Structure 1
Amino acid sequence: MTLPRIDVLVPTCGRPAALAVTLTSIGAQDYPALRIVVSDQTEGSTALGQAEVVAVLRYLRARGHQLDTWHHLPRRGMAEQRAFLLAQVQAPYCLFVDDDVILEPGLVRHLHGLLARHGCGFAGSAVHGLSYLGQERPAQEQLTFWEDRVEPETVLPGSSAWARHHLHSAANLYHLQRRLGATPESARAYRVAWVGGCVLFDTAKLRAAGGFDFWPALPTSHCGEDVLAQLRVMERFGGCGMLPSGAYHMELPTTLKQRTIDAPWALLPHGDPVALPPSSMPARERP
Structure 2
Amino acid sequence: MDRPLDTGDPAAFRAPREVDVLVPTRNRPAALATTLAGVAAQEGVPFGVAVSDQSDGPPGWTDPAAAGMVRVLRHRGHPVLLGRHQPRRGLAEHRAHLLARSSARYVLCLDDDVWLEPATLARLVAAIAELRCGFVGNAVHGLSYRDDVRPDSHRQFEPWTGRPHPERVRPGSPEWWRAGLHAAANLLHVTEKLRLAPGEWRPYKVSWIGGCVLFDRAKLVDSGGFDFWRRLPPDHQGEDAAAQLAVLERHGGAGIVPSGAFHLEVPTTVVDRGLEAWEVTLRTS
> What TM-score, normalized by structure 1, do the two folds share?
0.91
Residue 183 to residue 232, structure 1, CA distance change in 2 (3 Å): farther
Structure 2 unaligned spans of 5+: 1-16
Give the distance between the partners of 1:260 and 1:221, measured in 2 at CA: 5
134-143 or 225-234: which moved more?
Answer: 134-143
1:204 and 2:206 aligned: no
Report the Cα offset of residue 267 of structure 1: 2.8
Pair 1:214 & 2:228 matched: yes
Aligned residues: 268
- State the shift of 1:239 in Å: 0.4
Deviations 1:159-200 (A, max 9, x none): 211100010000000011011113462111100010100000
Q: 1:17 aligns with which of 21, 30, 36?
A: 30
Aligned pairs for 1:102-141 within 5 A: 102-141=115-154
Partner residue, 1:276 = none
C-alpha change, 1:99 and 1:46, in structure 2 (3 Å) is same
Q: Deviations 1:94-150 (Å, cap 9, x if unpaired)?
A: 001100001011001111111111100000000000000111111101211110111
Among all aligned residue pairs of Structure 1 and Structure 2, give the percentage whose two residues are the same amino acid. 49
**Partner residue in 2 for 1:253:** 267
Give, in whole Å, the separation in 1 of the partners of 2:185 and 2:230: 35
Kindly provide the amino acid, as one letter, of the partner of residue 189 in structure 2.
Answer: H
Aligned ranges for residues 64-75 of structure 1 at < 5 Å? 64-75=77-88
Question: 2:200 maps to what in 1?
Answer: 186
CA deviation profile, 1:242-283 (whole Å, cap 9, x unmatched): 011111000111111122301112331499xxxxxxxxxxxx
Per-residue CA deviations over 1:35-88 (Å, capped at 9, x if unaligned) read 000001112321121211111111111111111110111111000000000101
Pick from 27, 34, 41 the counterpart of residue 28 of structure 1. Answer: 41
Q: Gaps spanning 5+ residues in structure 1: where? A: 272-287
How far apart, in 1, do the equivalents of 2:23 and 2:65 lie? 16
CA distance in 2, matches of 1:95, 1:160: 27
Decide whether the 8 Å contact of 1:97 with 1:198 is kept in 2. Answer: yes
- Partners of 2:200 and 2:235 lie apart in 1 by 40
CA distance in 1, matches of 2:197, 2:274: 39
Cα 1:183–1:101 change in 2 (3 A) is: farther
CA distance 1:191–1:42, change in 2 (3 Å)? same
- Distance in 2, matches of 1:183 and 1:217, equals 46
Contact 1:157 1:265 survives alignment (8 Å): no
Which aligned segments of 4 or more residues in structure 1 are displaced greater than 3 angstroms? Answer: none
Question: 1:236-275, aligned counterparts within 5 Å?
Answer: 236-269=250-283
The equivalent position to 1:40 in structure 2, one of 31, 36, 53, is 53
Name the CA distance, whole Å, in 2 between partners of 1:186 and 1:266: 38
Report SS of the residue matched to 2:80. Answer: strand
Per the alignment, residue 170 of structure 1 pairs with: 184
Alignment partner of 1:110: what SS?
A: helix
Structure 1's 101 and 61: CA in aligned 2 closer, same or farther, altered over 3 A?
A: same
Establish whether residue 227 from structure 1 lines up as the match of residue 241 from structure 2.
yes
Q: Equivalents in 2 of 1:266, 1:209: separation in Å? A: 15
Are the aligned partners of 2:239 and 2:276 in contact in 1 as well (CA < 8 Å)? Answer: yes
Question: Are residues 160 and 269 of structure 1, via their aligned partners in 2, closer, same or farther at CA, if it must alter by over 3 Å?
Answer: farther
